[in-house]
Amino acid sequence: MISSFEGPTRRDVLRAIGMMAGTAVLYQAMEVLGHAKETQFAGPPNLQGARPGTRVVVLGAGLAGMLAAYELAKAGYEVQILEYNNRPGGRNWSLYGGDTYTELGGATQKVGFAPGNYLNPGPWRIPYHHRALLHYCKAFGVALEPFIQMDQQALVHSSKAFGGKPMRYRELHADWDGNVAELLSKAIDNRALDSVMTKEDADRLRLALREWGALDQNFKYTKNYRSSRRRGFDRPQGGGVLGEPIPSEPHAFKDILDSGIWRVVSQHMSIDHQHAMFQPVGGMGMIGRGFAKQVEGKIKYNQKVTAISQQGGKVTVTHTDTGSGVTGTTEADYCVCTIPLSVLSQIDVDCNPALDAAIKAVPYSNSVKVGLEFKRRFWEEEEAIYGGISFTDREISMISYPSGKLHSDGPAVILGAYTFGPASYKFAGMTPEERIQRALEQGSVFHPGRYKEEFIGGATVAWSRSPFTLGCCAMWNEETRKEHYQTLCAVDNRLVLAGEHASYVGCWMEGAILSSLDAITRLHKRALEA
């Protein structure tokens, strides 16, 4: 119990939690104290009263654009979508066997994955609290299945710990909890917490720490049955004469600290990466296909937008067919533009100077993904890893095992690299073949003797080389949001922007959808007032 007399403030408590456990636990504490919330979704928008014949042109057939078109058409608006690619979905996308992808610079990949296998270059998982996306997946018949975010059997690799040998997440997590619990129990014994806790609460906390950290009766984290129930046994439990398990020896706390395991643990505790996550059956691109069915006949593909005008009491969009080279125009009463700011900033947009400045103020991040196909699921057959993520301090950052078709025969695809920051630009500067080879080399640390030997082929996407986004997602900071965010989201005459860049759920599909619903609601109000 926290004393009311000169006790710590909420800010003090949050600071202490943040120092001890990292930002993920801090976020959870903030949520309990009412300072953080889940994403906002109150159901589909109410767009009643649309004037017959009112035309809206939507730029981009990503999720934000297609959802805007769907809800506007349902309300009675005449809608046309212009899309740069020859497919729907935007960054919601999967590469399958038989697909061809050409990146900026001209490198072309012909994907050779076995039927049913795929790489998700963009989004690859859906948090349980992204209610808007889940609502429309259900409404549009997009089948979902569990995405296994965390598997205790997966591996954590640090070049600074254990001689560079990967260790089981289960062992490191158990040893981290156990050692931290022992340290906290010592702090209680040393009366370090007397200023904020009663003796009764201190005793209860010590008992709780013993259970949480699997400590022994003397509040020590040692080699015994209790700790091995968490981290695993040297000899597992069995039957018959030799059925008795043999406990395992915990790692030295210094090695645990060197491994950086707390970063991995905190990621799984983040509200965006908790265990109840989903993925579409058959690849993330199934969501884009599901949305596209709802606006069938309204999408005009292979259209590169070059100018947006708001003169003459209407919107005029100039666009060029990327196949034939023919330039044309589309006129409408209003425009919903979902083109990423990285591309929109290079287009001639007729808007007020403040919106123009906002469009040009937000840079985009980069990431590179590499998909590696193997002859069989050796990680399941030989190491009992079913889904989940193995982490490394090498450039590839992580590998993710497939969550679908578990315990099946035949080839399967691992996400063999997911790079960010400087490493992503280093990877983007390589050819696709070089990225795949680098992912194989660095990923072999997890599965030596299997990784290169059972490799079949791969595919890779560097988002900074993507011609339709020129980056991964918008990177706001506190200053740019304060100066430009409200301007970016406001209706400018007959134009409104939507997409993950116009949300506080950046880099997620949920942000694109919530932004779209907000944008068309305000555009509808403007249309009724006109």
Q: 161 in a domain, yes or no?
A: no
- Single out the residue of 368, 367, 278, 343 nearest to residue 499, CA to CA: 343
- Within-domain flag for 525: yes
Q: Are 143 and 125 in contact (CB under 8 A)?
A: no
**Coil, helix or strand for 278?**
strand
Asked if the structure places residue 265 within a domain, the reply is no
Q: Using only C-alpha atoms, what is the Rg of the chain?
A: 26
CATH assignment of the domain containing 344: 3.50.50.60
Cα–Cα distance for residue pair 68/64, rounded to 1 Å: 6
506 has which bridge partners?
none
Query: How much is the pLDDT for 38?
Result: 64
Is residue 163 in a domain?
A: no
pLDDT at 11: 45
CATH of the domain at 394: 3.90.660.10
Same-domain check for residues 352 and 369: no
Per the domain annotation, does 503 fall within a domain? Answer: yes
Asked if residue 379 and residue 279 are part of one domain, the reply reads: yes
Residues 58/338, Cβ–Cβ less than 8 Å: yes
Domain co-membership, 279 together with 426: yes
Among 442, 465, 488, the domain boundary falls at 465
| Residue pair 310/494 in contact by the 8 Å Cβ criterion | yes
Tokens for 148? 């296994």
* Pair 121, 139 in one domain: yes
Per-residue confidence (pLDDT) for residue 223, from 0 to 100: 94
> Rounded to an integer, what distance in angstroms lies between the CA atom of residue 410 and that of residue 23?
40
Q: How far is CA 229 from CA 170, 210, 225, 239, 244, in A?
A: 10, 14, 6, 17, 13
Could you tell me if 73 and 102 lie in one domain? no
In a domain, 327, yes or no: yes
Instruction: Please indicate, yes or no, whether residues 347 and 486 belong to a single structural domain of this protein.
Output: yes
**206 φ, ψ (degrees, to nearest 5):** -60, -40
**492 in the same domain as 400:** no
Residues paired with 216 in a beta bridge: none
Return the pLDDT at 17.
Answer: 39
Shared-domain flag, residues 389 and 371: yes
Mean pLDDT of each 10-residue bin along the chain, 530 residues long: 37 42 38 49 94 97 98 98 98 98 98 98 95 97 96 94 95 92 87 79 86 90 89 86 89 89 74 82 98 98 98 98 98 98 98 98 97 98 97 97 97 97 97 98 98 98 98 96 97 98 95 97 96
Could you tell me the CATH number of the domain that includes residue 181? 1.20.1440.240
pLDDT of residue 239: 83
List C-alpha distances in Å: 178 to 173, 202, 230, 231, 382.
8, 18, 10, 10, 28
| Residue 292 sits in the same domain as residue 304 | yes
Are residues 279 and 375 located together in one domain of the fold?
yes
- HEC assignment per residue over 217-229: CCCCCCCCHHHHH
* CA distance readout (Å), 147 to 38, 142, 414: 20, 15, 14
Number of domains the chain is built from: 4
* Euclidean distance between CA atoms 173 and 419, whole angstroms: 24
Cβ-contact 519, 497 below 8 angstroms: yes
- Asked, for residue 45, whether it belongs to a domain, the answer is no
pLDDT given at position 269: 65
Could you tell me if 386 and 291 lie in one domain? Answer: no
Report phi then psi at 289, rounded to 5. -65, -40
Mark whether 178 and 237 lie in a shared domain: yes
In a domain, 267, yes or no: no
- Cα distance between residue 392 and residue 415, in whole Å: 13
Amino acid at 72: L
* Domain coverage including residue 434: 95-153+275-283+365-465
Residue partners of 285: CB distance under 8 A and separation at least 6: 89, 92, 93, 94, 96, 118, 120
